[in-house]
Amino acid sequence: MKAFAELLDRLSYTAGRNAKLTLMADYFRAAPDPDRGYALAALTGRLDFATAKPAMIRGLVEQRVDPVLFGWSYDYVGDMAETVALIWPERPGANRPPELAEVVERLASASRSDSPGLVEGWLDALDATGRWAFLKLITGGLRVGVSARLAKTALAQLGDVTLEEIEEVWHGVKPPFAEVFAWLEGEGPMPRIDLRRAFRPLMLANPLDEAELAKLDPADYRAEWKWDGIRVQLAAGGGEARLFSRSGDEITQAFPDLMEAAQFDAVLDGELLVMRDGTVAPFNDLQQRLNRKRVTAKMLQDFPAHLRVYDILFHGEEDLREQGFDERRVRLEAWHAAEAPARIDLSPLLNFARWEELQALRDSARERSIEGLMLKRGDSAYVAGRPKGPWFKWKRDALTLDTVLMYAQRGHGKRSSLYSDYTFGTWRDGADGAPELVPVGKAYSGFTDEELLRLDKWVRANTTERFGPVRAVKPGLVLEVAFDAVHRSKRHKSGVAMRFPRIHRIRWDKPIEDADRLPTLEKLIEE
């Protein structure tokens, strides 16, 4: 556990990508099995401890520390793991420090009643840095500036393999990945997995720089709509089928209506949508189906799932990814005509000869409730990751709105001491006819580090109420917010929800009375 704690601590204070890669690669070389495998699982989000939740940890620390003192400390620090690690009263000699594998394996098999005793004993045995790393591990909130892809990139440095080869087997192996480390170190073969039902890393597009558009030959590219759903991969074969999100998380059980139609042998790349009578429903309807552990009959009826397919990666056991896009499209159309699966159709290709024609289609995307366009070279192989040149996304222009800052919350990790998460609202007529602010969104990006310091100072100087790590502020600052779309929402007091809001400009000079009103936002709702 000590080596893992040191790794997390150093990663949290290391900014450079290459330096982070070196830290992780050195750890993977030096740490023994199965510790390094569990560390890799933690860094890639492959661990989950059902019985070790923040509420349980808070209950443990409040048994030893005055709850009011802990509340004040948590409010100041802004991070649960860091607060508990620092405030926990030590009992020297209570236990020996645990090994990483011991923590993972014992907690994974522990009952809900046994887990508090295990956690308490380990907190007593560890020093402050060890407690912090331990709590980050079991709550899943590492926040050390490492993505799953970066961790796998570091892993690839252990052997003569590429990141793409690791991605190819990743979702067919499980922690602590003993066979993966044996393969990388030349002590075993490449792990064998059932390719028919495994996730393959997706090919991603680069944002289109319109200044470069004139340099491209329109004859080389194919265009299709960028549908407003979520990108998924459906892998079916051998009488089974699995549905994956773009990050490789399996979401099969949440969409039984779609999976019933997957009685074929192919791997498809497409967009998950809700459709009614052949019409794509707003993204907000799809959200009603996402992240559901239990799907009711009413959900299935009210929000029917549909897959709109972009590409075919495998047909039977034949790998089509090295073929060009045009060749794969011919295979896809032939496959769909032969299978005619329910709830699955093809994303149509758009006809154009000149970029000006495509520009006109893009300009119509918002009125069609579509995100924009995709451009794909006709000869492009299906390559994992985001290669430069073959595929581009040409999104519609963002919407903007002037809002008023209402609440601010402390951030996480390096931002834990700063108010960096902002809830903003628009004006509407209150019950008494006087104008009132109602929240319409929350954002934590779009500003520079210098602007963040100034925003944090303003929040502290204009606080009216405190709710733990959240502060209410007096109306006084206008934030120009950019967002992609707006939908109706029963969860928000305003009745609306923005999609992908981010701070576009901080309007220090604009009077709050001149900020936008709720009806302005409601007019933008995509029905």
**All structural domains of the chain:** 2-139 (1.10.3260.10), 206-395 (3.30.470.30), 399-522 (2.40.50.140)
Query: Rounded to a whole number, what is the largest CA-CA distance in the chain?
Result: 76
Average of pLDDT values for 283-311?
Answer: 91
Mean pLDDT across 235-262: 90
* C-alpha atoms less than 13 angstroms from C-alpha of 462 in its C-beta half-sphere: 16
Label residue 262 by pLDDT band (50, 70, 90): very high
Using 50, 70 and 90 to split pLDDT, how confident is the model at 367? confident
pLDDT confidence of residue 327:
98
Highest mean pLDDT among 15-19, 92-96, 287-291: 15-19
Decide if pLDDT at 167 tops 90.
no
Question: For residues 164 and 346, which has the higher predicted lDDT (pLDDT)?
Answer: 346
**Is 285 a residue whose pLDDT tops 90?**
no
Catalytic residue among 2, 226, 393, 490: 226
Residue 279 burial by Cβ neighbours in a 10 Å radius (0-12, 13-18, 19+)? exposed
Q: What is the mean pLDDT of residues 411-434?
A: 86
Tell me whether residue 53 is one of the annotated catalytic residues.
Answer: no
- pLDDT tens for 26-63 read 999 999 999 999 999 999 988 988 888 889 999 999 99
Least confident window among 290-294, 350-354, 434-438, 441-445? 290-294
Match 């020996």 to its residue by tokens.
96
- pLDDT-derived band of residue 527, with 50, 70 and 90 as boundaries? low
Q: Name which of 522, 517, 439 is nearest 485 in CA terms.
A: 522
Residues 6+ apart with CB under 8 A from 261: 341, 342, 343, 344
CB atoms within 10 A of CB 518: 19
Report the alpha-carbon distance of residue 128 to residue 90 in Å, rounded.
Answer: 9
| Cβ burial 179-211 (10 Å sphere, 16+ → b, else e) | bbbebbeeeeeebeeebbbbbbbbbebeebeee
User: Where is 271: in which H helix or E strand?
Assistant: strand 266-276
- 32, with CB counted inside 10 A (0-12, 13-18, 19+), is exposed
* Mean pLDDT, residues 236-251: 88
The predicted-structure confidence for 470-506, as pLDDT tens digits, reads as follows 899 999 999 999 998 888 888 788 999 898 899 999 9
Q: Is 438 exposed, middle or buried (0-12, 13-18, 19+ CB in 10 A)?
A: middle
**pLDDT, the chain, mean:** 91
Q: What angle do CA 177, 179, 184 make, to 5 degrees?
A: 95
Q: Tens of pLDDT along 126-136?
A: 999 999 999 99
- pLDDT over 70 at 196, yes or no: no
pLDDT surpassing 90 at residue 79: no
**237 pLDDT above the threshold of 70:** yes
